[in-house]
Structure 1
Amino acid sequence: MSAPKRAKRAISGWVVLNKPYNMTSTQAVGKVRWLFSAAKAGHAGTLDPLATGILPIALGEATKAVPQVQDGTKVYHFAILWGSATTTDDAEGEVVATSDVRPDQAAVEAILPRFTGTIMQRPPIYSALKIDGERAYDLARAGETVELAEREIQVDELNLISHDSEKTVLEAVCGKGTYVRSLARDIAEALGTRGHVSMLHRAAVGPFNDADALTIDQLEALEQPERDALLKGVAAGFSDLPEIRLDAAQASAVRHGNTVLLTGAGSPITLDECWASFKGEVLATGWVEFGQFRPKRVFN
């Protein structure tokens, strides 16, 4: 006889997972969802299977905050292995080109400003981007020619962590949509050589970083009440956004999706994006226009 199914719980909050090597983001979400018996779960930003690090997993009502976290600044630590380019721009692919050129540290440091700021980037052909409804990596694996257009991305910082003749480790602070594999490929080509990502760790996503991270082993070792106690509140996903605190009457109106006039000294007149709360609980995300809070997404 098969084991009885776990009852799904309407539990809400954030698990800041340190995703292990060789696990997909979907597998990680499934595992965490099972551990918490959560009725609903999702993640804020895919990590490649060969990458480790911060994968914010949203349970319940926190899934409504995924766009805000996903749009936050990312921090990556990655190693460029010099001398070979691969089909996937990482260690998983087949070698397609080689070079004997090994850049010195001064050359690497000199090239980094060229890849900082607002730049154009061509995503890897082995990516989840869609072409005519099909994933690019599915087309590439089927042997079809994949051509992806360059896209504008934002790289706030590129810092050198370490360097030797075989590889260079860098830190990238960047915005949504940046492909670190492409960054490594393009840096190598700009230095007159070839290279691919041999190590990739995401150290931060929006408000969450390595200091918050839990491993699957840590979660598995705990009983359910202890596990639940480690959940971060739904509001943790909004720490980078202004908070609008409402009174009981305003909160009642917002719960029904209605606009409310903000009162009191210091109330904002205009805000592009913010979140509203009542007694510390998340009510809605939205914006402020002409002194009125306009809800965009209401939380239960």
Structure 2
Amino acid sequence: MTSQGFLNLYKLAGWTSHDCVAKVRRILSQKRVGHGGTLDPAAVGVLPIAVGRATRLINYLSSDKAYRATIRFGVTTTTDDLDGEVIAEAPVPHLTLDDVTAILPSFEGQIDQIPPQYSAISVDGKRAYDLARAGQVVDIPIRTVTVYSIEVLAWRSLPYPELEVAIACSAGTYIRAIARDLGAQLQTGAALAHLIRTRSSGFVLEESITLDDLLSSWTAGKNLLIPPEQALQHLPPLVLDGETARRWQQGQKVAIAPATTHLHYRVHGEDHCFLGIGEWIDPSEADEPPRLRPRVVYDP
């Protein structure tokens, strides 16, 4: 069986993204395996996995993310979730859903966010979580992210109230940071209690598979890998004729006249075989006619 393509993996709690990659390597006997978007060990849900030559295409997957999150108020931790050491804790039974929904709109749209101290952000060449575990407090740069929507799913009135929400956002958004900042604005403290990633890079929760699913299917001779052209459906297709396709695959820029212009295209040959990713050169920004530059040549 071919071992080139993508997996829509369901990551279980307690597994790191690296753990999942290592397990997939062993199951498929494939050294080249990578993941698209780290998911915290405590979180569950969609973890896109690239296998074989598809690892070169990870950066061209769609950047959409969606989550179901449970936020607990009245508690603050070192990691901004319930896995961390408790910094402060006090019941807030007076907090109401109206109090929370009054400020939720301030967390939608383009917002500035400071990632958690315990995160995979690189600071001076080291991971922030490694520095935090060593007892160092570091200045993590503010990043601008986009939260497309926050929908309230449930509210539980408890001594430590809990809010369940559905969040759609751009890549790079930390849901733990949203929980932390929401608690800070309400002056109650808050931490992320549970997180499910329901969509990532075009893959959805309902179609995800577990590592056990992968192992049993692969052992039975069933290939669950998703072809690259299917995973890249968000990119507009561009079909090249025989000679043009040959020159493009050799690394040459080729003249094109697409009906609509985009930065990246999903390139196919005349037989509809997937050839790779092309980048359109805007003639207004280059001293040459419109051309398609090879970004990733994916040998069929």
Would the TM-score normalized by the shorter structure come out above 0.5?
yes
In the other structure, the counterpart of 1:296 is: 295
CA positional deviation for 1:269? 5.9
Does residue 249 of the first structure (1) align with residue 249 of the second (2)?
no
CA positional deviation for 1:223? 4.2
SS of 2:102 mapped into structure 1 = helix
Q: Show the 5 A alignment for 1:139-218.
A: 139-165=131-157, 166-218=161-213
**TM-score, with normalisation over the residues of structure 1?**
0.90
Between 178-187 and 189-198, report the one with greater CA deviation: 189-198
Give the distance between the partners of 1:260 and 1:119, measured in 2 at CA. Answer: 40
Does residue 34 of the first structure (1) align with residue 33 of the second (2)?
no
SS of 2:277 mapped into structure 1 = strand
Letter in 1 for 2:153: I
Give the distance between the partners of 2:245 and 2:220, measured in 1 at CA. Answer: 30
Letter in 1 for 2:291: Q
Q: Show the 5 A alignment for 1:98-113.
A: 98-102=89-93, 103-113=95-105
RMSD: 1.7
In the other structure, the counterpart of 2:277 is: 285
Give the distance between the partners of 1:164 and 1:288, measured in 2 at CA. Answer: 51
Give the distance between the partners of 2:130 and 2:178, measured in 1 at CA. Answer: 22
Q: Show the 5 A alignment for 1:267-278.
A: 267-268=258-259, 270-278=261-269
Q: 1:53 aligns with which of 32, 42, 45?
A: 45
In the other structure, the counterpart of 1:6 is: none
- CA offsets 1:61-98 (integer angstroms, 9 cap, x no match): 111111122x5110011100111010001111010012
Between 290-299 and 193-202, report the one with greater CA deviation: 290-299
In the other structure, the counterpart of 1:238 is: 232
- CA offsets 1:207-246 (integer angstroms, 9 cap, x no match): 1111220011212223445441x21101123111111111
Percentage of identical aligned residues: 35
Q: Show the 5 A alignment for 1:118-137.
A: 118-137=110-129
Q: Is the 8 A contact 1:36 1:227 kept in 2?
A: no
Give the distance between the partners of 1:106 and 1:239, measured in 2 at CA. Answer: 40
Give the distance between the partners of 1:224 and 1:54, measured in 2 at CA. Answer: 23
Give the distance between the partners of 1:262 and 1:149, measured in 2 at CA. Answer: 41
Does residue 262 of the first structure (1) align with residue 256 of the second (2)?
yes
Report the count of equivalent residues: 287
Give the distance between the partners of 2:193 and 2:260, measured in 1 at CA. Answer: 49
SS of 1:35 mapped into structure 2 = helix
Stretches of structure 2 lacking an aligned partner (at least 5 in a row): 284-289
SS of 1:148 mapped into structure 2 = coil
Give the distance between the partners of 2:31 and 2:229, measured in 1 at CA. Answer: 19
CA positional deviation for 1:145? 1.9
